[in-house]
Amino acid sequence: MKRFVLLMSVSLLAMTITGVAFGRTFVTIGTGGVTGVYYPTGGAISRMVNQKYSEYKIKATVESTAGSVYNINAVLGGDLEFGVAQSDRQFQAYSGIAEWAGSGPQKDLRSVFSIHPEAITLIATKQSTIKSVMDLQGKRVNIGNPGSGQLQNSKDVLAAFAISLDKLHAEQVKAVEAPGLLQDEKIDAFFYTVGHPNGNIKEATSGRIKVNIIPVKGKGVDKLLQRYPYYAHATIPIKFYPNAGNRENVESIGVKATFVCSTKLDEKIVYAVTKEVFENLEEFKKLHPAYSVLTRENMLQGLSAPMHRGALRYFRETGFIRHIDPKLMP
Ligand code: GLU
């Protein structure tokens, strides 16, 4: 018995140090709140990989996290193997700006591929009378939790309208809690940078309190688009939210979800994950409606950290390498 316990603890130790036990490799994918699109995205990627367990002996699991910034830091710190992160956050981490201004450029960050588009989504109750970003002044607004992608996007949008944070009652709670707070009349509006459709905005628009999706547009926003390479025009299709107060598609700006890891991650693991997602893209796309626009070519755009060598090996073998920005290759 003692010997068994000893053996077990030695194997557990080996497992925690290397992520490998009994010939199996465990990988964890950092996502976001359970009502967003990152969480099902982690699920979809792990499903593609776990399907080939007999070949790769990789067991992928998903963790709900605070979002992009948390995921980037966790993959760099070795707490997670992979993470989903906004393209703007990937750019900032690799360049050592925004949350990384103090720690400097995160040169170990690697791109694997990009995924669905995400729109800066601003939701407000009808009774708040908020019709544009300008009207957020004096209101209770959730700008995003620390560790999330949206925290910086909300700040950028407010700055584009010359609204300083002290002009509103800014909350910083997780996106998963925001629809409840809105319906309980505890906040008037919230920002969420997210793919569509998603459960969060469905929940926010389906309650007792009438809710509108507010456009993020105007001169200030045009300047944002010129100033930052990672922002692009985005449209939120209103058909996804039949209970929202407004009935027109909503104009905004957005970024892309990307899949990242550390340069330290084993080449074989990254190769296997890349290969399974790319070879089974049609099956993958059926797992969430936000993936409907994905093509193998556009999944190689929107990246700023260099490609991981495991992903590059697959893209070289298949010729997809020609769609990759040469700056991303070592
Ligand atoms: N874009 C959000 C973030 O980076 C997460 C969105 C989602 O979970 O789908 O924190």
2-116+257-328 in CATH: which number? 3.40.190.10
From the candidate CATH numbers 3.40.1130.10, 3.40.50.300, 3.40.190.10, 2.60.420.10, the one assigned to the domain spanning 118-255: 3.40.190.10
Residues of the chain with CATH 3.40.190.10: 2-116+257-328, 118-255
Q: How many CB atoms lie within 10 A of CB 35?
A: 23
- pTM for the model stands at 0.94
34 — phi, psi (to 5°)? -70, -15
> How remote is the CA of residue 304 from the centroid of ligand 1, in Å?
18
Dist. CA 93–CA 70, nearest whole Å: 11
pLDDT tens digits for range 147-166? 999 999 999 999 999 999 99
Dist. CA 113–CA 298, nearest whole Å: 9
pLDDT tens digits for range 92-116? 999 999 999 999 999 999 999 999 9
What pLDDT, on a 0 to 100 scale, did the predictor assign at position 18? 45
203: Cβ contacts below 8 Å, ≥ 6 apart: 35, 179, 180
CA angle 34, 118, 269 (to 5 degrees): 65
The closest residue, in CA terms, to atom 4 on ligand 1 is 149
The closest residue, in CA terms, to atom 6 on ligand 1 is 194
C-alpha closest to that of 39 among 30, 47, 50: 30
Which residues approach ligand 1 with their CB closer than 6 A? Answer: 32-33, 36-38, 67-68, 86, 118, 148-150, 193-195
**Residue 197 DSSP code:** S
Q: Are strands 24-30 and 211-214 parallel, antiparallel or unpaired?
A: unpaired
| Ligand 1 mutation target, pool 63, 72, 86, most atoms within 8 A of CB | 86
Give me the chain's average pLDDT, please. 94
Dist. CA 53–CA 69, nearest whole Å: 30
What pLDDT, on a 0 to 100 scale, did the predictor assign at position 8? 47
Mean pLDDT by 10 residues, the chain (330 residues): 47 50 90 98 98 97 98 98 98 98 98 98 98 98 98 98 98 98 98 98 98 97 96 98 97 98 98 98 98 98 98 98 94
pLDDT tens digits for range 66-97? 999 999 999 999 999 999 999 999 999 999 99
In this structure, what token pair is assigned to residue 225?
């688009």
